Amino acid sequence: MADIDEARDLGLEMLRTAGIEVGGDRPRDIAVHDDRFWARVLSDRELGLGESYQEGWWDANQLDEFIAEVQTLDLQSLIRPRPALTLRILKARARNRQTVRRARRNARAHYDIGNDLYERMLDKRMIYSCGYWHRAADLDEAQEHKLELICRKLHLEPGMRLLDIGCGWGGFARHAAAEHGARVTGVTPAHEQARLARQICAGLPVDIRECDYRDVGGRFDRIVSIGMMEHVGPRNLKTFFRRCNDLLAADGMMLHHTIGSLVSKNHTDPWFDKYIFPGGVVPSLAQISSVTEKDWVIEDVHNFGPYYDRTLMAWHRNVTAAWDDLPAYDERFRRTWDYYLLSSAGSFRARALQLWQIVFTRSRRRSHVYHRPTP
């Protein structure tokens, strides 16, 4: 590994090509507090950048703007990963990180860290996915509009049986039942989510089950997943859609709302894999279409990825404002959470990540024209 001076010189040269200054006063500029930062990033790329931030070795005037600049210019591609990092990626490709047992453990590692955190971070319905900001004035409206848009895209009618895969804290299930008269089954492998979702949906025709989507039985008129496909994993996408095929009525319709990648991958950013979403991989359109061909018609693909930037920044403002009311979380957690939210916002701002809502119907159906509802 290069010594400290050599690593610093290489790092500074890379930042100069991106127009980023150390000690500058522009939003994208950074401050380095520990010179070990340079060698750490050159050694471990994205993992080293995130971990050194957690340790307080560097800061940015606006972390979201710094990451957006790095992503726009693809600076990470200039750093060759060391053997240990390459081995980590190869292991991720070789193993199924989303078996039923691992999926349960992965979900609980993120979603069961504390309902108090999510109650303060999210909107009043606790919707943990991208809002729809078209004509929305704030986060509450953006999430309400998103839930309603999904129901309209699904042509949801009273009495329909709806399966919500990865139902979170029950916000969409409650909306679909209360506003559209649907009979909803929501599933999540996260214990704390299921417990609170049952309270939120009390008194409505909503059945919240603490289980994996592979363990669900029954027949449904509509299927929805909102921010869940990222947790399926590329090795399980075919299984996921086969299970949907088993569960959906012959004339049914389904919608999957997912973060999307511009390239097909079998692994994810190692920092996010280690600290935020273990086992998660963001799918590409090619990966989705390749496992759905023959059985499914893709009726509609709606990309509103830039709205995730606004959503994440709203979440970050909420957490920052409520931090003094969250004594169970230490300073390292705060920096970890800041890095998660702000670096994600930067990635969406740079269009390195997308957000798709994809509507499916079964193939080999007689003439049927799908109409996307107007915003």
pLDDT digits (tens, 9 = 90+) for 181-210: 999 999 999 999 999 999 999 999 999 999
302 forms bridges with which residues in the sheet?
357
Please give the pLDDT value at position 95: 63
Instruction: Let me know whether 48 and 169 are in one domain.
Output: no
Check residue 89 and give its pLDDT.
53
Domain that holds residue 10: 4-80
State the SS3 of the chain.
Answer: CCCHHHHHHHHHHHHHHCCCCECCCCCCCEEECCCHHHHHHHHHHHHHHHHHHHCCCEEECCHHHHHHHHHHHCHHHHCCCCHHHHHHHHHHHHCCCCCHHHHHHHHHHHHCCCHHHHHHHCCCCCCCCCCCCCCCCCHHHHHHHHHHHHHHHCCCCCCCEEEEECCCCCHHHHHHHHHHCCEEEEEECCHHHHHHHHHHCCCCCEEEEECCHHHCCCCEEEEEEECCHHHCCHHHHHHHHHHHHHHEEEEEEEEEEEEEECCCCCCCCHHHHHHCCCCCCCCEHHHHHHHHCCCEEEEEEEECCHHHHHHHHHHHHHHHHHHHHCCCCCHHHHHHHHHHHHHHHHHHHCCCEEEEEEEEEECCCCCCCCCCCCC
Q: Is residue 52 part of a domain?
A: yes
pLDDT digits (tens, 9 = 90+) for 159-177: 999 999 999 999 999 999 9
Residues 49 and 194 in one domain: no
pLDDT value of position 80 = 65
Residues 292 and 160 reside in one and the same domain: yes
Q: Is residue 89 assigned to a domain?
A: no
Q: Which residues of the chain have pLDDT under 50?
A: 1
Whether 149 and 10 map to the same domain: the answer is no
Q: Are residues 41 and 110 in the same domain?
A: no
Task: Return the pLDDT at 94.
Answer: 55
Per-residue model confidence (pLDDT) at position 96 = 65
Tally of structural domains, the chain = 2
State residue 1's pLDDT score.
44
Whether 108 and 61 map to the same domain: the answer is no
Do 104 and 59 fall within a single domain?
no
Residue 94 lies in a domain: no
Residue that is last in its domain, among 48, 80, 112: 80
Are residues 202 and 310 located together in one domain of the fold? yes
Closest by CA position to 346, among listed 18, 9, 3: 18
Counted residue by residue, the chain has a size of 375
340 to 319, 344, 346, 371: CA distances (angstroms): 12, 6, 10, 36
**Would 369 be classed as within a structural domain?**
no
Shared-domain flag, residues 60 and 203: no
111 and 214 inside one domain = yes
| Structural domain contains residue 219 | yes
- d(C-alpha 1, C-alpha 39), whole Å: 7
**CATH number of the CATH domain containing 232:** 3.40.50.150
In a domain, 371, yes or no: no
Is residue 27 within 8 A of residue 62, CB to CB? The reply is yes
Instruction: Clarify whether residues 183 and 305 are in a common domain.
Output: yes
Do 75 and 106 belong together in one domain? no
What integer pLDDT is reported at residue 7 of this predicted model?
A: 87
Q: Does residue 47 fall inside a structural domain?
A: yes
Whether the Cβ atoms of residue 338 and residue 316 lie closer than 8 Å to each other: yes
Q: Choose the final residue of a domain: 80, 115, 138.
A: 80
